[in-house]
Structure 1
Amino acid sequence: MTSRRYCRPFCLTAFVLLIAAPVAVCAENTPQAAVSDSAKTDAVKPAASAAEQSAQAVGAPADNAGSAAPANQAPQDKPAQPASLTDKAIDKVKQAAKSASDIFNRVPCLPPKGVARAFSLPHVAHKLAAGEPVTIIAFGSSSTQGYGTSSPEFTYPNRLAAQLHRRYPAANITVVNRGRGGDDAQQMMARLQSEVIDVKPDLVIWQVGTNAVLRNEDPDAIAQNVQDGVARIQATGADVVLVDLQYSPRVTEHPENASKMVKLIRRVAQLRHIGVFPRFEVMRQWHESQALPIDTFVIADGLHMNDWGYACFAQILGDDIIRSVGQIRLGVAAPINRSM
């Protein structure tokens, strides 16, 4: 896989403004590889999306804004002032918000009905209320890494980061992608300390279980690994949310193992008093209740999500995080998977 440099769409804007600021804005991107989940062994660190970069820039002080020329001043008296950093940041946030909604123009992302998704994130809520930086780690395998997306912008961690930045524009929120294709609980446990705990996250979103089902591994052993890992994360004081399997043809080919794995992940969440995002049921509802064809949200390999699938997953997950933080701020304790 070779990396190639290319200019993102806003490079053209930077080029047009060369007279005021002679710097071309480019980004380096690593294209997604067309290999199977089990064959992917190297982590890919997605480039920061334009939405992330722009939302972080919104925190620039307002007094950085340049003053406009008086209305009665002739254009030849004083050259036009370049847009301030704050103005540029606001424009980028508007572009990011438009990009976030564009993908849902053809097929809307509807919240699932009758699927319990409530969880509590007291640590994240406290950090946001105190104005302190928040670090979120997306931990998992290829569907966290973002296999199947057309660009890094559409990985679920990047989409989630953009959504949280739009909701909390003054907050310092960092979402770190720690997905590695082909991994399951045993492999993730080997890198849990260095890639998760040592980073000192405030929230860990742990996507797990799919590869174990595909490989016909013992679900009970996987569940025990997850339970041990969650306990280690909780010992640091971080919040944890588990994400179960994706609903896709290659997973549903193993109905007994898939069902057992989903139930075991829920059981771990109950035992450790943490949240679980029921991705399997959410995606099943896309197909069965909303009558969306599988190829609306799954790519041709029958396993991984496409841009729309990742975007809708991230949108619903982000809504749940925002709702949880709001409930805690209001003193409302969210139920933890009582009905699951």
Structure 2
Amino acid sequence: MSSLRPFHLKAWLAVSAAALLLLTPVAQTPVRAQAAQATPAPAADPSSSQTTVAARSPNEQRSITGRAIDKVKQVAKSAGDIFNRVPCLAPKDTNKVGSKAMGSLPHVANKLVAGQPVVIVAFGSSSTAGYGASSPDFNYPNRLAAQLRRQYPTADITVINAGVGGEDAPEMMKRLQTQVIDVHPDLVIWQVGTNAVLRNLDPGDTAKLVEDGVSRIQAAGDADIVLVDPQYSPAVNQRKESAGKMIKLLGKVAELRHVGIFPRFEVMRDWHENQSIPVESFVIADGLHMNDWGYACFAQLLGDDIIRSVGQIKLGVNVPGDVRAYRPM
């Protein structure tokens, strides 16, 4: 079982400073490449094709190391102040977003209140794995883990990233037992449906598989479950009819099985249509996957709902998990 730990700047600086010296522009992630362009490396000496780091003077070597550290700091700062550039706001138009919501999360909330260890499994495909993020630290499960650990610094919180790119319900069901049920999670966040839309799979078949999977998780233990529907993005919007059916059916599964649902499609559409955020500000150039800001805001809203559920338990408001009245996330 893997545990995603929060971003530690000092440790990352120590490792990344040396690593950045060896990276070529082709190997760099987009954010790192941008930082490298801001501070060009010195031109190679045309008289020698065998110039090495060891051959440089101590002052020159310290200068290169300093520039590498500065680049790492730029990346870290860019990630750290991401919401200063574009704030992460919850949808205000609850009628447009609809009545779908995560609902209360009594199991994970009670464990956090009691100071017991908490295990969260993020189950899904590439947007769970974090494709499009500039670093694994910035995918949504890692962001969520960092937020919860800041909120509950003495708690033992483990967030497992069980995302595999390209999969949807048929492939996920094959690993549901080993990567979800056998882990005995307190909360399962199941992102599903996007690849089924892109692959023109029958939304009804997908919904049946998801319902079966939710039933199996419920039969195995007391885990809270939150389904995450497809993202609002150009690639998904090109299959608007199929996406609409998928979103509606996943909502029905959540209602039938008394589990929560995070209305990702409507939340992301609210970013664009109500908050006037350009789509390219939260979706990368492939027109499908989220960028650092998108993952960070997604994680923030998920975390806010978990924290809100804990607050309810502390106030003695033990709301059943099947109460699904919308609460701004």
Cα 1:14/1:152, change in 2 over 3 Å: closer
Cα 1:32/1:130, change in 2 over 3 Å: farther
Please say if residues 270 and 336 of structure 1, whose CA atoms lie closer than 8 Å, have aligned partners that are also in contact: no
1:290 pairs with 2:269: no
Which of 77, 86, 89 is 1:110 aligned to? 89
Report % sequence identity: 67
Letter in 1 for 2:256: L
Please say if residues 169 and 193 of structure 2, whose CA atoms lie closer than 8 Å, have aligned partners that are also in contact: yes
Q: Give the equivalent residue in structure 1 for 2:49.
A: none
How far apart are 1:137 and its partner, in Å? 0.2
Letter in 2 for 1:127: K
Please say if residues 118 and 324 of structure 1, whose CA atoms lie closer than 8 Å, have aligned partners that are also in contact: no
Please say if residues 164 and 318 of structure 1, whose CA atoms lie closer than 8 Å, have aligned partners that are also in contact: yes
Mapped to 2, the partners of 1:223 and 1:185 lie a distance apart of 8
Letter in 2 for 1:102: D
Unaligned 5+ runs, structure 1: 1-7, 16-23, 35-96
Mapped to 1, the partners of 2:309 and 2:273 lie a distance apart of 27
Which of 117, 120, 124 is 1:140 aligned to? 124
Q: Give the equivalent residue in structure 2 for 1:253.
A: 238
Q: Give the equivalent residue in structure 2 for 1:175.
A: 159
Q: Give the equivalent residue in structure 1 for 2:134.
A: 150
Mapped to 2, the partners of 1:111 and 1:219 lie a distance apart of 28
1:336 pairs with 2:320: no
Letter in 2 for 1:325: V
Q: Give 1:18-97 correspondences, 5 Å limit.
A: none
Question: Secondary structure of the residue that 2:85 maps to in structure 1?
Answer: coil
Letter in 2 for 1:181: G
More helix by share: 2
Cα 1:167/1:339, change in 2 over 3 Å: closer
How far apart are 1:295 and its partner, in Å? 0.4
Specify which structure has the bigger relative contact order, considering alpha-carbon pairs within 8 angstroms and separated by 6 or more residues: 2
Q: TM-score, normalised by structure 1?
A: 0.71
Cα 1:205/1:10, change in 2 over 3 Å: same
Matched positions, count: 260
CA distances 1:216-245 after superposition (whole Å, capped 9, x unpaired): 101111001000101111121111000000
How far apart are 1:174 and its partner, in Å? 0.4
Mapped to 2, the partners of 1:180 and 1:124 lie a distance apart of 24
Q: Give the equivalent residue in structure 1 for 2:59.
A: none
How far apart are 1:125 and its partner, in Å? 1.6
Letter in 1 for 2:240: P
1:222 pairs with 2:206: yes
1:300 pairs with 2:285: yes
Q: TM-score, normalised by structure 2?
A: 0.73
